[in-house]
Structure 1
């Protein structure tokens, strides 16, 4: 049986499934998402020339019934909890969808407060129908965990099998990262000094991120490459101005990516952590 857990930013949550009080009846919008096509048409051209496309917002609609036994007040309490969890003024909620053995999550915001129909058959002493409409501005479903793919490290002709998130050390480190999702996905990179002008490159795309700064042993540099959420911080403070002007906030393309880390400091204490979540266009 499919189930949905909705959690707000205060950590409050409700579970919709096959157990009281929130019974899930249907969920729409988990697979399809509208596509905005960009094209160009020249004079006397038959048809048009495709340029690009982007995914629109994902609309998720959920229907179900609140059912309690022997306590009419419990219906009202369940209604109030649903309204509290899905209060749009709190911002986005996390929707975790359990579909068989598959678990994916997405963030969205309630398009309206929960709808409780009052027509015949929608409301009774021990039950109440409900409708939820949510808009997901980031249309991709994500794995609920950061990816930790097995990777290999080649140095001096000896191969070591490691896991990602994993640590880089020594100059000229290379790793193989697998993006098992449908589209490119951003990464989070954490440097732990010492390091001088640390650089992490995606050799598959030919792009790199370089920070023109010396990191002491106690310094921690963090970089996020997500669109709309990019940041560069040292010990929690903004450090965007240290980014090399030729840097690109690269992402992992679908499939295999070759990553490398270089620094002007050979210290074996230097560590670099790279992590990401796979993204899927539908379920």
Structure 2
């Protein structure tokens, strides 16, 4: 594999468009290393300098210029590009830069051709706006906090070993540049299940009893917060059962010691946490 390259792959539903040789040549790009920041400051009266009030990471603009180098009819390819980069549909951009591959959600801000006449190479420019400015891993990371381990599974053969209770906590390492929201799957049975980040003291507790057929699903992402109970493939909203002291916490950068608890001595079948590391750039 040639690592001295850059590839832009656009995905929109079932459609995919890759800006890479031999069909396309990327001539210029910007916005993948970082986005703009805003520092709100106030002047210190009677003292030198200023005081920082807050920091804000703004949405990310990404601009790409490319040439079409393929053998297809230029007219057909022109129509295909116009349709693909429609402002009426969102998409996911995956960037492979020197062997590092990450993705980000985007909206099309503008698309236009820069060719001077019909005989020139088909040149075009794309301007994207990413409301969430953070790149993410391509594949979601999953961690299981063991509850029962080394047990037999049907069919078993004699002699078999009885199940042992696993450790109800596990260290989860966030190797990204910023905090990462979680998806949590709490497989019943359990009474008032609770998961705590011992590294920060934050916890989420649901005041509800789960049967062995229930899965408690929690999403802590901004704008996507959910608490649901899944039974037989059917999801039911369970937001009203949240302990009021709960925090929809994210994984901090570095180590996060997560622990689950259940009241009345009931031990869940398993607890899974899933997340994607988030990055300032590629």
State the alpha-carbon separation in 2 of the partners of residues 226 and 18 from structure 1: 36
Aligned match of 1:59: 61
SS of the aligned residue for 2:105 comes to strand
Is 1:212 aligned to residue 210 of structure 2?
no
Aligned match of 1:39: 41
State the alpha-carbon separation in 2 of the partners of residues 29 and 183 from structure 1: 18
Of 89, 98, 101, the match for 2:99: 101
Aligned match of 2:15: 12
> Deviation at 1:44?
2.9
Aligned match of 1:162: none
TM-score (norm 2): 0.85
Alignment RMSD, CA only? 2.4
State the alpha-carbon separation in 2 of the partners of residues 59 and 44 from structure 1: 39
State the alpha-carbon separation in 2 of the partners of residues 152 and 219 from structure 1: 17
1:238-264 deviation line (CA, Å, top 9, x unaligned): 211111000000111101110000011
Is 1:136 aligned to residue 139 of structure 2?
no
1:36-92 deviation line (CA, Å, top 9, x unaligned): 1122334333222113212111100000011233x5xx22222222222222212x2
Aligned match of 2:155: none
Aligned match of 2:189: 194
Cα contact 2:216–2:228 (8 A) shared by 1: yes
Alignment of structure 1 residues 53-202 onto 2, 5 Å? 53-69=55-71, 74-90=73-89, 92-112=90-110, 114-119=111-116, 123-124=118-119, 127-148=121-142, 173-202=168-197
State the alpha-carbon separation in 2 of the partners of residues 242 and 75 from structure 1: 58
**Structure 1 residues 171 and 198, CA, compared in 2 at 3 Å: closer, same or farther?**
farther
State the alpha-carbon separation in 1 of the partners of residues 85 and 213 from structure 2: 41
Aligned match of 2:158: none
> Deviation at 1:94?
0.3
**Structure 1 residues 170 and 232, CA, compared in 2 at 3 Å: closer, same or farther?**
farther
State the alpha-carbon separation in 2 of the partners of residues 261 and 148 from structure 1: 16
Is 1:203 aligned to residue 198 of structure 2?
yes
TM-score (norm 1): 0.84
1:214-244 deviation line (CA, Å, top 9, x unaligned): 1111112111111111111112222111110
Cα contact 2:207–2:243 (8 A) shared by 1: yes
State the alpha-carbon separation in 2 of the partners of residues 191 and 154 from structure 1: 11
**Structure 1 residues 242 and 153, CA, compared in 2 at 3 Å: closer, same or farther?**
closer
